[in-house]
Amino acid sequence: MRKFLLGAAIMGLLVFGVKYFIDRSNTKKIELQSSDLILNQIKNVGKLVVTEGHFAEVINYKDNKAFFSSWINAKKTALVVVNAKVQVSYDLSKIEYILNKDIKTVVITKIPEPEININPDIQYHSLTYGFLNQFTPKDHNLIREKVVKQLEKKVKSSLLVTNSENRLISELQKIYILTNSLGWTLKYNNTVIEDQIAIEELLQ
């Protein structure tokens, strides 16, 4: 009887031990699958998000040069009409993050800044100039620089940037939805993301 009880006890321990290791192995597999899914999701959003728009600008360009102790003034003017194609983009492959499998946490440490690309089509109208002050390549470069600076200000305060930010938020929310569904925690630096709205608030 004792041998039977001892054998039953040993068998029970063996069964318990095998089950323990199987459960532990399955748990590790699930954790590995979860981390792989999260990595794939981050890679999937790691693409270039581009929002395009068109802007117009009109600039009055003036230049005045004095000669012979200001006895002679040579002026040149131009009406500059600009139509520009503008792209606001986020290169999400530049997102930096730390994935910790042990505590099931993804920490986003850096979100890339928006890149503004302006491609202006510049047309000149009503050009006036004299022999002593003609238009040169330097003038065209100065006009282009002025155009780009003014358009950058206009773009940064436009709906184009807002729409681009909304697309960025949408991509980041995909990461939150997956991590949350798998029981992981998503952080942006030291702040825990508790819902989808929190992502929008952090980027403001």
pLDDT value of position 5: 42
Q: What is the dihedral of CA 163, 164, 167, 169, to 10 degrees?
A: -100
Read off φ and ψ for residue 117, nearest 5 degrees.
Answer: -115, 115
User: What is the spatial distance between Cα 179 and Cα 163, in angstroms, rounded to a whole number?
Assistant: 25
Buried b (16+ CB within 10 A) or exposed e, 35-71: beebeebbeebeeebebebebebeeebeeeeeeeeee
Q: Do the strands 185-188 and 105-110 form a parallel or antiparallel pair, or are they unpaired?
A: parallel
Q: What is the average per-residue pLDDT within 87-101?
A: 88
**pTM for the full predicted model:** 0.67
pLDDT in tens, 34-69: 778 887 877 777 677 788 999 998 888 887 776 656
**Between residues 172 and 73, which one has the greater pLDDT?**
172
Mean pLDDT, residues 92-116: 89
